[in-house]
Structure 1
Amino acid sequence: MEQALLIRHGQTEWSATGRHTGRTDVPLAAAGERQAARLRPLLDRLLDGRQPALVLSSPMARARRTAELAGLPAPRVDDDLREMDYGAYEGLTTPQIAADVPGFTVWTHPLPDGETLEQVGARADAVLARLAAADGVAVAVAHGHLLRVLGARWIGLEPACGGSLMLGTAAVCVLGDEHGRPALRHWNLLAADD
């Protein structure tokens, strides 16, 4: 892999209100569709006129639609790019959960009937191996928490360290290396507004 671009899907009704969205296949909102379409010039600049050697996407419609609107070649669906499984907390906001579990965050507390951070980290490691095997630039379109874990794992940190890597909707990150050591070249790049 020459470098990898990570792209978070555009805004959904649930992401706009902070609802944990793992298994629920919520479509892009109109604002999310506009965000995804505005990614084209940014991706053109980052790709420097080259076609990606590999494009992967979460199976969720919001990720696949973001890839399409951003002008990427048809992605290969990769189940390991699905969002963290929030279990019983699916559809709830952090403040709603914290009313019953003081201090709750997905980075510090278990998710009843959901995934552990270690399980999400193992999926991220599997995706990183596929991206690293690409002969050229690789692209992955997925979800906020999963991509934050993926970024942390790329630079050798534990999955919970993804909590320190904020990531907006329709944001682009670039994984690369510096002198052979994995590095975050860019994080949370946003397209210019119209």
Structure 2
Amino acid sequence: MNTKSGVHIWLIRHGETEWSKSGQHTGTTDISLTEAGRTQARALAPVLAAQRFDLVLTSPMARAIETCKLAGLGDGAQVEPELHEWNYGIYEGRTTADIRQEVPDWSVWTSPIPQGESLADVGARAQALIDKLIATQAQNIALFSHAHFSRVLGAQWATGAASFGAHLVMDTAAMSVLGFERDARAIVRWNLLP
């Protein structure tokens, strides 16, 4: 298989929302950026303007689309449904601390997610997107998405194990770059803030 070693995939997390600030799991709820989140998104523009992207994809959620636009990459960006956040099922809108009052030691990485996606589901979705991106002719790709999905995508890219995402932290409006070290897939940069 062609490794496409010149490929760089930029993962860009959306700016702050009220729920990202409070730690509430925000998967399917379409919540807007806060004013601070808009400021964060605009701060991405100078860094991203220094790049030439062959392909810009965004999650269908308003917070990702708005971040993409404010970061200066809205023109020509395409909505990619696979970039949506983890579906947290019955845990949507709840914090980990709140969930642990009912389910001690609960973790999105290791616990069942009733009516939502399992880690295996999210990992398979991330791998399908990776395969799709590798099949394109694009060399420099920008993806506007969400924390948990981006962490799984980075883990899947580098190790083939979605569970490694538990060890990757991603702040709001942070950028990470996936690429290659010779022929090996690698995390080139992680959790950079403008």
Q: TM-score, normalised by structure 2?
A: 0.93
Give unmatched runs, 5+ long, in structure 2: 1-5
Partner amino acid, structure 2, of 1:152:
A
Sequence identity percentage: 47
Tell me by how many angstroms 1:156 deviates: 2.3
1:138 aligns with 2:141: yes
Counterpart residue number, 1:81: 83
SS at the partner of 1:41? helix
Report the Cα distance in structure 2 between the residues aligned to 1:134 and 1:147, rounded to whole angstroms: 22
Deviations 1:82-131 (A, max 9, x none): 00000000000000001111111101111111101111011101211232
Tell me by how many angstroms 1:134 deviates: 3.6
Counterpart residue number, 2:33: 28
Counterpart residue number, 1:186: 189
Equivalent position to 2:160, from 141, 147, 157: 157
Q: Does the 8 Å CA contact 2:59/2:65 hold for their aligned counterparts?
A: yes
Q: TM-score, normalised by structure 1?
A: 0.93
Q: Does the 8 Å CA contact 1:22/1:84 hold for their aligned counterparts?
A: yes
SS at the partner of 2:68? helix
Q: Does the 8 Å CA contact 1:67/1:141 hold for their aligned counterparts?
A: yes
Q: How many residues align?
A: 187
SS at the partner of 2:90? helix
Report the Cα distance in structure 2 between the residues aligned to 1:131 and 1:186, rounded to whole angstroms: 19
* Higher deviation after alignment, 126-135 or 83-92: 126-135
Counterpart residue number, 2:178: 175
SS at the partner of 1:152? helix
Give unmatched runs, 5+ long, in structure 1: none
Tell me by how many angstroms 1:34 deviates: 0.4
Counterpart residue number, 1:40: 45
Report the aligned-residue RMSD.
1.1
SS at the partner of 1:99? helix
1:65 aligns with 2:66: yes
Closer/same/farther in 2, CA of residues 11 and 99 from structure 1, 3 Å limit = same
Deviations 1:32-63 (A, max 9, x none): 00000000122234x1xx2x111111000000
Match runs of 1:74-113 below 5 Å: 74-113=76-115
Partner amino acid, structure 1, of 2:7:
E
Q: Does the 8 Å CA contact 1:177/1:183 hold for their aligned counterparts?
A: yes
